[in-house]
Amino acid sequence: MSYGWAILIVIVVGGAMWQLGVFNRGGSAPPTTSGFETIKPFIPTVRVTDKLYSNAGPGQWDGFSGHFTNGASSEIAITGVDVRINGMNQCSRLHVYYLPGGGSLDEIISMTVPFSDLFYQDDGMGNYFFNNCLVYRPPPPPFGTWSGCNPPRSIRIPPGGSLIVTAETPLMDAGGYPVCYKIISGERYEVAVELTYDIELGGATTTKHESGKIYLTA
């Protein structure tokens, strides 16, 4: 083996180890992705954490969240979602949010911005069933208004539009919730995301599946 080949092997192996965070000392390796051809994650927003919402205590809401962008040239209708962390389904709730005017996850939870929410619930065996699809519009006071999505089981995202995907697990033993997944700060995770959507192609509606993986540190 020539020195050139040996150096090339060292570079390739070193790069792979760096991606996995082997050389990380005080700080985390940046997130990387694979897959995701049309609906792509916005890397600065993806995270796995033991505190999805700023008003939650540590360990109360473990899970994943991230913004994704519709890279298709036309509108898509999201009809399904699946998220697996290190191969495991989160065993509580999955959401796909669309914020027509932009905004953050905390603004959704505090209901200060308009949004649509495609919501799935775990059946206790790692399988998800459709639970609800709602549109929220904030006040005029004293209350905001809720209505159904149109069509009822999809959220329409314009080209270039952004959606937020979350997989959340409330770790509340005292309240009767199972402790089904625990995010450990500093550990490296693989998050597999699959989105099902409809798109108009050549005058016909076609169902497609977008999938990929995100590798990141909690």
What pLDDT is stored for residue 156 in this prediction?
A: 96
**Beta-bridge partner residues of 22:** none
What pLDDT is stored for residue 4 in this prediction?
A: 54
Q: Say if residues 18 and 32 touch (Cβ distance below 8 Å).
A: no
Encoding tokens for residue 213? 């993986």
What pLDDT is stored for residue 12 in this prediction?
A: 44
What pLDDT is stored for residue 133 in this prediction?
A: 95
Return averaged pLDDT per consecutive 10 residues of the chain, 218 residues in all.
51 47 57 97 93 71 92 96 82 87 90 94 75 92 88 95 88 52 88 96 94 97
What pLDDT is stored for residue 150 in this prediction?
A: 85
What pLDDT is stored for residue 162 in this prediction?
A: 95
What pLDDT is stored for residue 20 in this prediction?
A: 45
What pLDDT is stored for residue 19 in this prediction?
A: 47
On whether the pTM is more than 0.75, the answer is yes
- Residue 134 one-letter amino acid: L
Total residues found in the chain within this entry:
218
Handedness of CA 176, 179, 180, 186 (dihedral sign): positive
What pLDDT is stored for residue 99 in this prediction?
A: 95
What pLDDT is stored for residue 50 in this prediction?
A: 83
What pLDDT is stored for residue 32 in this prediction?
A: 96
Q: State CA 59 to chain mean position distance.
A: 19
- Residue 43 one-letter amino acid: I
Tell me how far CA of residue 201 lies from CA of 29, 76, 91, 171, 208, in angstroms. 39, 11, 35, 43, 11
What is the distance between the alpha carbons of residues 145 and 153, in angstroms, rounded to a whole number? 19
What pLDDT is stored for residue 142 in this prediction?
A: 77
